[in-house]
Structure 1
Amino acid sequence: MKKYYKVLFLPCIISWCTSCQRDLETVPIEQQTLDVIFDPRDSAGTNANRFLYDSYLHLPGIHNRVGGDYLDAATDDAVSSNTSNTSVFQLATGAYTSSSYPDNQWPNFYAGIRQTNIFISNIDRVPLKGKLSNGTPFNRVWKAESKFLRALYYFELLKRYGGVPLLGDKVLSLADDVNIPRGSFSDCVEFIVSECDAMKDSLRTNPIDANNIERPTRAAAIALKARVLLYAASPLYNGGNIDAGNQYTGYSSYNAERWQRAANAARELIDQNVLSLDPSFGNAFLNQMSPERIFARQGGNDQSVENSNGPIGYTSSINNGRTSPTQELVNAFGMANGKSITEAGSGYDLNSPYENRDPRFYATILYNGAPWLGRPAQTYEGGADKPGGIRQQTRTSYYSRKFMGNYTSSAQYSNISHDHILFRYAEVLLNFAEARNEYLNAPDADVYNAVEAIRKRAGLDPFTLTPGLSKDQMRTVIRNERRVELAFEEHRYWDVRRWKIAETEFNKELHGKLIYKLGSGTLSYQDNPVLQMKFKAPQMYFAPIPYSEVAKNQNMVQNPGW
């Protein structure tokens, strides 16, 4: 009997594939038999390549991904300008259950895993011609790409749910037992790491050419490995298990060597010298050939980010002002001289709070007076970009600026690349610095060098750190550098959890600024509460396994507290 492409998407095969048919319907691809897709006579692999590309559709995005908002709007870095009961509001306040989790990605990623498994199991039937310049046959390259995607999908599940069912290369059918138990947290980590090690030498190498920028490279496999091991070494899993003895939510005891292992993985990529920080912080997100870029999900060449998040008062362009950065995030950005705003000698002025700040601030935040579309943004009360009334507008007097083009003097927006950057070199440096600092008794030159490279590229002067910092002091520096460097890239939500400090950081009141323009033309500033976050520990450290999965699978163990 012929096998049909349609069989991939039968919702009754296994409950986590219920979204597959819905996903496929958005893609203009025929429902073909697997014999046609993996045709032994198709040496060009035309249909197989289309099938592989189809499995990329399950990659996570970043831009306004969660119900129209950035995931960071569910952290202390931002709030949604939409005042209704948004998905990120539910995440930020704990207003969800196991049957209503707002960021349930279980069906999506298991659909991706199933599709990659089918590809891995069938691609060797296609006699692909050609090889990379290093001699690797394209069969191996494409299979390695599919394994990378599968490993990434497993990691996305792992960081949300803890240990999840591991399927190996198996493609389940109607006749199979689908009551598959969860793999332990440790087993999931080791599976992903082993896959990265096995596939990395079969992938393309950096720098990658413009025709293949969407494909994973050897650097991407190592970066994924380094991130997985960093998470595994972090307090939430490494000795801080929220449910002692629960194999699904972490390790049973602390082991410092996990930090060393994470540092070594990041160092492997650093020592290869195939990547570098882009001289321009903003360019790393807009230039598809940036030397900093490791792996991204391709987005459109459009104005989507600007239209969704730009200040609302500009009539020349569509602006919905969806994202309101918090005062807490603004305060995390230091001064151009490298000092924090509370540090003696920083030069911070309460009456001119946006002068002489860390250059990354100006590339991340649109503030009152920021040059934009030919005029200064007006986010004071009653200003063009915060007029009041019922129209959606900033709730904090700030708008998100990151990922947008240089529109300081332009009359309107133009089409630019809006890819979803999933891995970039700056994160690798910060991953290394964190892991090595946690492993050592005190930071060494390698830790300093990694952090200072980030600060130097940012344009801080001086960019050097105070010599002789303690381990705890360096930890504070690294965590703040991650916050400002990686803002709106879907790191803060997970970082605060893996550091196991969410019951403090995500249980506080968030603020914006009320800015009043006085009769003399001077401005007054006062903090204004905008949202009370709520974090229910320990249960909110992990997402609930979807209720439908627990109900259908008798071997599925729910996460603690759900």
Structure 2
Amino acid sequence: MKKYKLLLLTTALTGLLTACNEQLDLPTDGRITMDQVFSDYNRTRGYLNSCYGFVPKPYMDRASFTDEAQDADDITPGSRYIVWYGGNVTSTTYGKNSADGSPWGDLYEGIRKCNVFIENIKTAPVYASEGEKNAWTAQAHTLRALYYLQLIKRYGGVPIFDKPLGIDHDFSTDKRAKFSEVVTFILSDCDKALSYPATRDGLPWEIFDNQYGIMTRAVAYAIKSQAVTYAASPLWSDGTYDWAKATEINAEALAECLANGYRLFDEKPAANIAQNAYALFFFTTSNDQRATDKETIYHVGDKMQVWRYAGMPTNPGMERTGPCPTQDLVDAYEMANGEAPITGYSDEARTVPVINAKSGYKENDPYAGRDPRFYASVYYNGAVRNLDQPNGKKVETFVGGEEEISDINRKHTRTGYYLRKFSNFRSGQNNDADGAVRLMRLAELYLNFAESAYQSAGPDVPVKAGNLSMSARDAVNAVRTRAGMPGFPLGMSKDAFEKKYRNERRIELAFEEHRFFDVRRWKILDQTDRFVTGMRITKSGSNYVYKRFKFQNRNAFSDKYLMYPIDQSEVDKIIGLSGTGSPDRDWQNPGWLD
């Protein structure tokens, strides 16, 4: 067993995070026992730090795997977008052709480390107060819940391991738990973490000095909210978690966060800084101990270079245009009066829109009078390029313009639009000022609550939790108020509310990776991802002619794409170790047998 512990620790200490701790003083042969780790204060903290860092970092490129964007590299031979759009992905090649690779192994490595920590800290002789040990334990439970959440939203039900595996572990007993069973485990882990005091000697709300990125109570509540919302959704619902139960958990999560200082970011910027609070939020740092940014709950996404990797050809030093917003997404942005600009299409290619007469939308001036979030998220033909020069350069996506549409150049838009969200207009070669994707933020909690509440109680019925009394409509309207949009009206039917709610979620969380998972859990992938459209603009004198067009059909919308495949090498290892089952019945996800 001692030999096993030595081998286990060799991998456990790989990549140890030492930013906030002294470097581990390892013996010269690199070996150290678990007893030695958990009897030393710095080594114990170091091991806990090594439990962090296994969450796949959200990034703007996932939009290109949804109906939010068509990637400009769809013309680059061998690109992952050509493979994905063609539906030519297998369980063996998924990792190199997907948005975040194949994170199965990394997430289970994080879980293994959390298990080792939780098991050993119980009897650790390390000289530390019980309060500090409690705080460490709460972090490990929250992290483990987070890793399991990231697994199930990608792979569905997975094996649950709550203790380190011994050398005598019987792999033939391992099985994939159901999605709902893993959610139950996630909720239990979060509740365990939340059972500790809301202080530094437990799981606090506050983010203390040098504690950025550490688990907090808000993270635990956000994990619970997302997990139960997914569990009640059509793809995963098995009766264990209905919408009423989801509403109960979502209401508590939202109420607790609001009661403890979380707020939607509403700082109004000067006109030469950003278009509105929504725009400013995405390139404002979240590393401020919630002094200004009180909306971010957990931020693991790296700072992006939108100007370089999703840029316009007129940006010096740009390399590619990346995810180009689709016409489908642009159509989803309502008018500023709250009306949808179009109510549908009269052709199967979605190139002939049915105009909503009440909206004020004009086909010859399609970008006027839209939701303020449109201007914060999309560069369109005629958009002001530099906010400090409102009468200066305008973006030219028309044929022949400086940023013209192209179907042969990866440095030009494929759809007629460029990504603006996360981008500070001042960013460039000498000023990396773009933002990043938050993994969890308060707006999602409002929307999760709204989704479960309209399903379980109706759009207008208040739900109470603590000091909170809020209806689904109230929750959505809180998000829309920050955006400068009129609220949902009173008295909507459940079906009408659902349609408008899903559109609101699409807009508020655009390019933040939610769309990829939302259309899957709602089981509408075959409706949203068959193809996308763009807008080709030509200039005639001083006038513009707008013509919608359809891209080639995509082939990544069948039911097998509802879940990631488990990497085939992992499946082979599982079958080899367990000696039971067959990959098609027990381990590999449906449709991914190569």
Residue 261 of structure 2: aligned partner: 274
- For residues 312 and 35 of structure 2, the distance between their equivalents in structure 1, rounded to whole angstroms, comes to 47
The letter of the residue matching 1:156 is Q
Q: Could you tell me whether the CA contact under 8 Å between 1:368 and 1:380 is conserved in 2?
A: yes
Picking from 400, 411, 422, the partner of 1:403 is 422
Q: Could you tell me whether the CA contact under 8 Å between 1:263 and 1:431 is conserved in 2?
A: yes
- For residues 349 and 128 of structure 1, the distance between their equivalents in structure 2, rounded to whole angstroms, comes to 70
Q: Could you tell me whether the CA contact under 8 Å between 1:222 and 1:266 is conserved in 2?
A: yes
Gaps of 5+ in 1: 11-19, 65-69, 131-135, 239-250
Deviations, residues 362-402 of structure 1 (Å, cap 9, x unaligned): 11111122222463222222222237454432101111111
- For residues 216 and 63 of structure 2, the distance between their equivalents in structure 1, rounded to whole angstroms, comes to 27
Picking from 427, 437, 458, the partner of 2:444 is 427
Q: Aligned ranges for residues 506-545 of structure 1 at < 5 Å?
A: 506-507=529-530, 509-518=531-540, 520-545=541-566
- For residues 74 and 468 of structure 1, the distance between their equivalents in structure 2, rounded to whole angstroms, comes to 36
SS of the aligned residue for 2:73 comes to coil
TM value normalised by structure 2: 0.79
TM value normalised by structure 1: 0.84
Q: Could you tell me whether the CA contact under 8 Å between 2:57 and 2:300 is conserved in 1?
A: yes
Deviations, residues 334-368 of structure 1 (Å, cap 9, x unaligned): 12222221243322221221122111111111112
SS of the aligned residue for 1:79 comes to strand
The verdict on how the C-alpha distance between 1:257 and 1:459 changes in structure 2, with shifts beyond 3 A counting, is: closer
Q: Aligned ranges for residues 89-238 of structure 1 at < 5 Å?
A: 89-101=82-94, 102=98, 103-124=101-122, 125=124, 127=126, 129=128, 137-173=131-167, 175-179=168-172, 180-202=174-196, 204-209=203-208, 211-238=210-237
SS of the aligned residue for 1:176 comes to coil
Residue 73 of structure 1: aligned partner: 64
Q: Could you tell me whether the CA contact under 8 Å between 1:62 and 1:489 is conserved in 2?
A: yes
The verdict on how the C-alpha distance between 1:306 and 1:177 changes in structure 2, with shifts beyond 3 A counting, is: farther
- For residues 413 and 356 of structure 1, the distance between their equivalents in structure 2, rounded to whole angstroms, comes to 34
The letter of the residue matching 1:276 is R
The verdict on how the C-alpha distance between 1:276 and 1:391 changes in structure 2, with shifts beyond 3 A counting, is: closer
The letter of the residue matching 1:309 is A
- For residues 253 and 6 of structure 1, the distance between their equivalents in structure 2, rounded to whole angstroms, comes to 40
Q: Could you tell me whether the CA contact under 8 Å between 1:443 and 1:474 is conserved in 2?
A: no
Residue 57 of structure 2: aligned partner: 61
Deviation at 1:150, TM superposition (A): 1.4
Alignment pair present for 1:453 and 2:474: no
Q: Could you tell me whether the CA contact under 8 Å between 1:128 and 1:139 is conserved in 2?
A: no
The verdict on how the C-alpha distance between 1:541 and 1:287 changes in structure 2, with shifts beyond 3 A counting, is: same
- For residues 211 and 24 of structure 1, the distance between their equivalents in structure 2, rounded to whole angstroms, comes to 19
The verdict on how the C-alpha distance between 1:92 and 1:195 changes in structure 2, with shifts beyond 3 A counting, is: farther
The letter of the residue matching 2:322 is R
Q: Could you tell me whether the CA contact under 8 Å between 1:4 and 1:33 is conserved in 2?
A: no
Deviation at 1:272, TM superposition (A): 2.6
Q: Could you tell me whether the CA contact under 8 Å between 1:266 and 1:431 is conserved in 2?
A: no
Residue 557 of structure 1: aligned partner: 587
- For residues 17 and 413 of structure 2, the distance between their equivalents in structure 1, rounded to whole angstroms, comes to 33
SS of the aligned residue for 1:523 comes to strand
Residue 247 of structure 1: aligned partner: none
Deviation at 1:169, TM superposition (A): 2.1
The verdict on how the C-alpha distance between 1:155 and 1:517 changes in structure 2, with shifts beyond 3 A counting, is: same
Residue 404 of structure 2: aligned partner: 386
Residue 348 of structure 2: aligned partner: none
Over the aligned positions, Cα root-mean-square deviation in angstroms equals 3.0
Residue 325 of structure 1: aligned partner: 325
Picking from 37, 44, 66, the partner of 1:48 is 44
Deviation at 1:268, TM superposition (A): 4.0
Q: Could you tell me whether the CA contact under 8 Å between 1:206 and 1:275 is conserved in 2?
A: no
- For residues 85 and 112 of structure 2, the distance between their equivalents in structure 1, rounded to whole angstroms, comes to 31
Q: Could you tell me whether the CA contact under 8 Å between 1:118 and 1:171 is conserved in 2?
A: no
- For residues 436 and 212 of structure 2, the distance between their equivalents in structure 1, rounded to whole angstroms, comes to 11
The verdict on how the C-alpha distance between 1:536 and 1:322 changes in structure 2, with shifts beyond 3 A counting, is: closer
- For residues 36 and 10 of structure 2, the distance between their equivalents in structure 1, rounded to whole angstroms, comes to 18
Deviations, residues 10-65 of structure 1 (Å, cap 9, x unaligned): 6xxxxxxxxx99x849999877545489645644x3x333333333221121125x
Q: Aligned ranges for residues 280-295 of structure 1 at < 5 Å?
A: 280-285=277-282, 286-288=284-286, 289=288, 290-295=293-298
SS of the aligned residue for 2:318 comes to coil
Deviation at 1:93, TM superposition (A): 4.5
Picking from 514, 518, 522, the partner of 1:495 is 518
- For residues 531 and 113 of structure 1, the distance between their equivalents in structure 2, rounded to whole angstroms, comes to 41
Q: Could you tell me whether the CA contact under 8 Å between 1:38 and 1:123 is conserved in 2?
A: no
Deviation at 1:170, TM superposition (A): 1.9
Residue 248 of structure 1: aligned partner: none
The verdict on how the C-alpha distance between 1:426 and 1:171 changes in structure 2, with shifts beyond 3 A counting, is: same
Deviation at 1:9, TM superposition (A): 6.6
Q: Could you tell me whether the CA contact under 8 Å between 2:278 and 2:483 is conserved in 1?
A: yes
- 140-149 vs 48-57, which moves further: 48-57
The letter of the residue matching 2:520 is R
The verdict on how the C-alpha distance between 1:50 and 1:528 changes in structure 2, with shifts beyond 3 A counting, is: farther
Q: Could you tell me whether the CA contact under 8 Å between 1:229 and 1:261 is conserved in 2?
A: no
- For residues 86 and 181 of structure 2, the distance between their equivalents in structure 1, rounded to whole angstroms, comes to 32
Alignment pair present for 1:471 and 2:494: yes
Residue 437 of structure 1: aligned partner: 454
SS of the aligned residue for 2:108 comes to helix
The letter of the residue matching 2:572 is A
Q: Could you tell me whether the CA contact under 8 Å between 2:299 and 2:437 is conserved in 1?
A: yes
- For residues 301 and 90 of structure 2, the distance between their equivalents in structure 1, rounded to whole angstroms, comes to 32
SS of the aligned residue for 1:62 comes to coil
The verdict on how the C-alpha distance between 1:365 and 1:371 changes in structure 2, with shifts beyond 3 A counting, is: same
The verdict on how the C-alpha distance between 1:494 and 1:329 changes in structure 2, with shifts beyond 3 A counting, is: same
- 189-198 vs 433-442, which moves further: 433-442
The letter of the residue matching 2:323 is T
- For residues 348 and 418 of structure 1, the distance between their equivalents in structure 2, rounded to whole angstroms, comes to 31
- For residues 91 and 262 of structure 1, the distance between their equivalents in structure 2, rounded to whole angstroms, comes to 36
Q: Could you tell me whether the CA contact under 8 Å between 1:296 and 1:420 is conserved in 2?
A: yes
The verdict on how the C-alpha distance between 1:421 and 1:254 changes in structure 2, with shifts beyond 3 A counting, is: closer
Residue 336 of structure 1: aligned partner: 336
- 444-453 vs 549-558, which moves further: 549-558
- 186-195 vs 259-268, which moves further: 259-268
Q: Could you tell me whether the CA contact under 8 Å between 1:296 and 1:421 is conserved in 2?
A: yes
Q: Could you tell me whether the CA contact under 8 Å between 2:157 and 2:182 is conserved in 1?
A: yes
Residue 546 of structure 1: aligned partner: 567
Q: Could you tell me whether the CA contact under 8 Å between 1:311 and 1:377 is conserved in 2?
A: no
The letter of the residue matching 2:158 is V
Deviation at 1:4, TM superposition (A): 6.9
